[in-house]
Structures are given as C-alpha cells and as structure tokens.
Amino acid sequence: MPSARTVLGGVTIQRQPAAEQAAAALREAILSGRILPGTPLREVAIATELGVSRNTVREAARVLGSEGLVKYEMNRGAMVADITRQDVNDIYAARLALELAGVDALVSGCDPVALARLAELTSQIEDAVARRDVTAATEGDRLFHAALVAATGSARLQRFHAQLQQEQRLALSLAERSSRELGRSADDHRQLLDALSGGSDQARAALRAHLDGGAAELHRLRQLIGRRREDGPDGG
C-alpha cells in the first residue's frame, strides 16, 4: 500500500501565521463595522498599519474572500463585500422555504424537546433585548431559526440554512454597533413560538410576518450603511 507521502505527491503543509493574523485583524474590523461594505482594501496602507508585507495582506484577503467577506472587482481590486437589495430578498426567500419546512415538521410532529428548545431560546432573546445586548440577541435569533430547520431532521436542509445565515452575517454584524439601528423596538419570537401551537396556517403566517420584518430591518440597515459611506468617516 503506498504511503501517504507518495499518494499526496510529497506535498508538505506550509504554515502562514502572519497571513492568518492579518486575516483575523481584517475580519474583526469588518464584522465590527469599522470597515464598511464596499470599502476598498488598500494593500499598502493595511500592510503598513499591520507591519506585514503586501503579499501577506493579499493572502489574508484571499482567506476572507473564501468566507464571503471580501470580493474582487476588475480594476478595483479587493474590497469588503456588499449585500445588495436583491441579495437580501434572495436570502430571505430561501430562508422562508427552509423554515416553513421546519414549521410544518414541528406542527405535525409536536416534538416536546424541540418546542422546549425554542422556548428556551425565546427567553434568552427576550433577556438579551431587555439588556440591550444586540450581539446576544442576534446570536439567539440565529440559533432559534437553526432549531426550526433542525426539526425537519434533514442534515442537507440544515447545511443550506446555515449557509444562508452565513451570507447575511456581514449585514447583521453591523447592527451590533448600535441597538438604535434595529428596526424593531420589541422582539416577536414569542409570538412565533405561540403560533406553533395554533395550527399550521397560523404558524406559517407568523413565520412569514417574522421574516418579512427581518428583511425590512436589513434593507433599512443597508440604507444606513450607504448614507454613512457617502458621509465618510467624519460624517453623520
């Protein structure tokens, strides 16, 4: 039997801690909203600030590109990825299809363990909202909707849903900077949870209304980001 070295053609793993550290620094700046969507990533300026080479910055940008945080445009180079209005609409349309499948599974199966998990997450979200902890509320929301899809028992649907949640994380992370940027003044997961006990039609209508509200929040956040980008770092 051939050795692993023979099978892999003698390839060895090259560790690149500098690129990983640069990617981590850029990732944190992007997800915290310090670098806004659509902002060009200037290699020279970033390399100077981080004390690394331009090649290291380029490698870090490629890492973030694989995560969907950075994109490349012809004649413009690397920039922080933006989420368009159509992107938001597409993400929420796909989420609705997957989460409706979860609602149907919950209503028909009446799984007490799954419902108890959703009730626990609803309480966590309400507590986070009361404390104005937008980060915890956002994470609770992510887990709540993931639990909905998990009720289908389909690993494939759960993977698709996780990918959709990943795609919208950039816009959602920007809401963590200020709870004032959120469109809702109160959380409605409790209404959605209660609707799951009221029959399929009621539960499906509640989910549609809930996701419509989420999409509206992201559209509003995109407008805020656009105005902030036009004003520049000292504007607004």
What is the spatial distance between Cα 228 and Cα 234, in angstroms, rounded to a whole number? 9
- The CATH code of the domain that includes 65 is 1.10.10.10
Please indicate, yes or no, whether residues 194 and 211 belong to a single structural domain of this protein.
yes
Kind and range of the H or E element at 71?
strand 70-73
pTM of this structure? 0.71
- The whole-number pLDDT of residue 220 equals 82
| Same domain assignment for residues 110 and 223 | yes
List pLDDT tens digits, range 8-36: 555 554 555 899 999 999 988 887 778 87
Q: Which is more confidently placed, 74 or 147?
A: 147
H-helix segments, the chain? 4-7, 17-31, 43-50, 54-66, 85-109, 112-130, 134-150, 155-167, 169-175, 189-195, 200-231
CA nearest to 189, candidates 111, 112, 137: 137
Q: What is the CATH number of the domain that holds 114?
A: 1.20.120.530
pLDDT of 92-147, one tens digit each? 999 999 999 999 999 987 788 999 999 999 999 999 988 888 778 888 999 999 99
Residue 65 lies in domain: 15-80
Of 30-34, 58-62, 64-68, 210-214, the least confident: 30-34
β-pairing, 70-73 with 77-80?
antiparallel
Q: Is residue 8 part of a domain?
A: no
Residue carrying structure tokens 């919950």? 106
> Considering 39, 63, 80, which residue would you say is the last residue of a domain?
80
Pull the structure tokens for residue 71: 């994109």
**How far apart (Å, rounded) are the C-alpha atoms in residues 70 and 170?**
10
| CB-based contact 70:64 (threshold 8 Å) | yes
Greater pLDDT, 221 or 101 = 101
User: Is 41 found in the same domain as 111?
Assistant: no
Pairwise CA distance, residues 128 & 135, whole Å:
8
Do 143 and 226 share a domain, yes or no? yes
CA distance 182 to 186: 10
Residues 6 or more apart in contact with residue 215 via CB below 8 angstroms: 88, 89, 92
Task: Please check whether residues 22 and 55 belong to one and the same domain.
Answer: yes
Same domain as 95, residue 75: no
